[in-house]
Structure 1
Amino acid sequence: MPSPFPGMNPYLEHPSLWAGIHHRLITAIANDLAPKLRPKYIVAIEERVYEVNGDTALLVGIPDVSVQSSLSLPPPTESNLAVAPTTQPIEVMLPLPEILTEAYLEIRAVETEEVVTIIEVLSPKNKQVGIGRLQYETKRLKILGSATHFVEIDLLRQGNPMQMVGNFLPTLYRIVVSDSETRPKAKLYGFNLQDEIPDFSVPLRAGEPKPIINLNLLLNDIYNQGSYDLRINYSRPPIPTLSEADMAWANERLQEQGLR
C-alpha cells in the first residue's frame, strides 16, 4: 500500500519510527547511487559515535549496599568506641553516558580514496540543543571549509533548522546541496507537507555528470518494504503535531483514502 501523502509522510517522524526510517533511507540512497557511480566511485556508509549526558542520560540500578548485621565485630572497648550510623543506605539511580551512533554517506574516488561528497540525513539529535547538534555543526563547518561537496537532507519538522542565510521562505522540510566550487552559495530545495519531495543532483568532480536522487520514490519504497501502513494508526494525529492548517489538509486527505 502506498503512502497516503504526496511527499514526506509526517507520521514517519514519530520517535518510535524515525530511527528505522533513517537507517533504511541511508541504505536506500547508497544502493541507488552505487550503480550510477561505478566504476569511478564507491558509496560508503559511515558512522559517527558520541556520548550523551545530562537530560538524555541513561539510568542504571545500583545494587543494594545496606549494612550486613551478621558481621562478627569485636566488642567495643574504651579505645575503639564509635557511634553506629542511624541512617541506612537506600538504593539510588545514577546517570550513565548514552552511546549514540549516526550513519551518513561518503562518496569516495576508487583510485585515490578521496572523499568527494558527503551526504547527511538529519536526526533529531542534530536539531536539538546539546552535544549532538554541537558535534554535527562542528563537522558541518569543517566540510563547508573543505573541497568536499555536501548534501544535507532534513525530513524532520521538530528542532531548529540548520543555519543558512538567504531570501527564502521557511518550509517544513529542506534539502541543501553545496557544491564546493560555488561556496558559500548552495542550492536549497524547500518543500512542505502538500508537496512531492523534489529530485536533486549529487555533485561530483568538475565536468562529471551528476546522478539524480529521486527521494520521493525511495521513501515510498521504504514505506512499502517496512509495512508502515500496518504500523501507523492514521486515526490519531502525528507526532510531532502539525499546525492547524496542515492538520486540516492531512485529515481531508486521509478521509479521501478511507484511513479516517
Structure 2
Amino acid sequence: MPSPFPGMDPWLENPRVWPDVHNALAGEIRAVLNDSLPGGYYAQLEERTEIVAFDGDESFKAVPDVGVGRTSDSDGGAAVLTGMRTEVTPSVRLTADDLPTLLDVGVYDLSNDLVTLVEILSPANKRQNRQEFLEKRITLLRSDAGLVEIDLLRRGRRVCGDSIGGPTVRVPVGTAYLVLVSRPWERGEPPYPSEGFCWHGWFLNLADPLPVVPVPLREADGEVPLDLQYCFNAAYDRGPFRRQASRYAEPPDPPLPPPAAEWAAQRIAAWRNAR
C-alpha cells in the first residue's frame, strides 16, 4: 500500500527511521537505473561511513549512495519498468548570475570511472560531517562527473547554500524538499562560478510528488530519466514503513507548521480508511 502522501512522507524524516529510508531508496534507485541505463553503463551502491548522533550519543553508520559507472561491456538495453515515468519534470535553470564566489577546498580522490553520483543527503551531511561532505561535493563539481543531489530532510541547513561546497542555489521560501542536478558539460571552466555553470533545481512542497530527473551520462550519450517518486513508492511499499501505521499517532520529527499539519492529518485519516 502506498504512503499517505503524494510525495515524501514527513514522518520518515525522523532520525531513527531515516537511515532505513535512505538505504531502501538508494537500493531502489540502483535497481531502476540498472534497468534503464544503456549498454556500457552500470549503477552500484557507494558506501560511506559517517557519524550520526542520536540524543547526544554518536554511532557509526554505513550509508550507501548510488554511483553510475561505465563499463566496456555493451550488453543491456534501455528497459523501462512498468508504471515508471520517462518524461523529465521541468526544472528551474539557475545561471552563474545567481551564484556567489566559490572558496577553494581540498581535493577528494574520485574514481576515474565515476560518471554520475546520486547523493541522498543525510542529517550528518547537514551537521556533524558537513565540512567533509562539502569538500567532497566541490571536488566532484570540479571533475567530469555528474551530480544528482536529493535532499528529503527539512531539518538542517541546506548544503546548496554553502559556498564552500560549490556554487550556491537560492532556495525559495517554503521549500520542503529539494533535488539538484549538475551536468558536467554545463559547468564551464573552474574556478566557479563561471559563465557556463548552472544547476537544475526542483523545489518541492509537501503536496508535490517527487520529480523525474535526468541522470547525466557522458555528454555524447546524453542522460536517462529517473523517476524518484516511483523509487520512493517502491521503497515504502517493500520496506517496513507501510506496516508501521502507529507512527502517525505522534507528530513528525521535525514537526510541521499548523496549516501543513492539518493537511497531513487529513491525508493520514483518508489513508487509514482505505486500509
Q: Shorter-normalised TM-score: what interval?
A: 0.7 to 0.9
Kindly state the Cα deviation for residue 229 of structure 1 after the two structures are TM-superposed: 2.4
**Is 2:163 aligned against 1:149?**
no
Q: Which residue of structure 1 lines up, in the alignment, with residue 70 of structure 2? A: 109
Q: Quick one: distance in 1 between partners of 2:185 and 2:48?
A: 26
Structure-1-length-normalised TM-score: 0.77
Match of 2:234 among 221, 224, 238: 221
Q: Which residue of structure 1 lines up, in the alignment, with residue 199 of structure 2? A: 186
Q: State the SS of the aligned residue for 2:17.
A: helix
Match of 2:255 among 228, 241, 255: 241
CA contact (8 A) 1:25 1:218 kept: yes
**1:122-170 CA distance string (max 9 Å, x none):** 1111112x3x111111100110111111110011111111124455513
Structure-2 change in CA distance of 1:245 and 1:52 (3 Å): closer
Match of 2:179 among 175, 181, 187: 175
Structure-2 change in CA distance of 1:198 and 1:105 (3 Å): same
Q: Quick one: distance in 1 between partners of 2:213 and 2:47?
A: 24
Q: Unpaired runs of 5+ in structure 2?
A: 74-111, 162-167, 188-196
CA contact (8 A) 2:19 2:63 kept: no
Q: Quick one: distance in 1 between partners of 2:185 and 2:144?
A: 8
Structure-2 change in CA distance of 1:257 and 1:105 (3 Å): closer
**1:25-79 CA distance string (max 9 Å, x none):** 11110110012224211112111225679x9555xxxxxxxxxxxxxxxxxxxxx
Q: Quick one: distance in 2 between partners of 1:15 and 1:99?
A: 14
Q: Which residue of structure 2 lines up, in the alignment, with residue 29 of structure 1? A: 29
Match of 2:208 among 192, 195, 216: 195
Structure-2-length-normalised TM-score: 0.73
Larger radius of gyration: 1
Q: Quick one: distance in 2 between partners of 1:27 and 1:204?
A: 20
Q: State the SS of the aligned residue for 1:202.
A: strand
1:1-260 equivalence runs, <5 A: 1-50=1-50, 57-58=57-58, 98-111=59-72, 114-128=113-127, 130=128, 132-164=129-161, 165-166=168-169, 168-170=171-173, 171-183=175-187, 184-233=197-246, 234-258=248-272
Kindly state the Cα deviation for residue 212 of structure 1 after the two structures are TM-superposed: 1.0
Q: State the SS of the aligned residue for 2:223.
A: coil
Q: Quick one: distance in 2 between partners of 1:109 and 1:119?
A: 15
Q: Quick one: distance in 1 between partners of 2:207 and 2:198?
A: 27
Letter in 2 for 1:216: Q
Q: State the SS of the aligned residue for 1:194.
A: coil
CA contact (8 A) 1:11 1:232 kept: no
Q: State the SS of the aligned residue for 2:219.
A: coil
Q: Unpaired runs of 5+ in structure 1?
A: 59-97
Q: Quick one: distance in 2 between partners of 1:135 and 1:167?
A: 22
Q: State the SS of the aligned residue for 2:249.
A: coil
Runs of 4+ in 1 over 3 A off after TM superposition: 50-53, 55-58, 164-168, 256-259
CA contact (8 A) 2:22 2:120 kept: yes
Q: Quick one: distance in 1 between partners of 2:253 and 2:268?
A: 16
Q: Percent identity?
A: 32
Q: Quick one: distance in 2 between partners of 1:146 and 1:159?
A: 27
CA contact (8 A) 2:51 2:124 kept: no
Deviates more, 1:27-36 or 1:37-46: 37-46
CA contact (8 A) 1:45 1:104 kept: yes
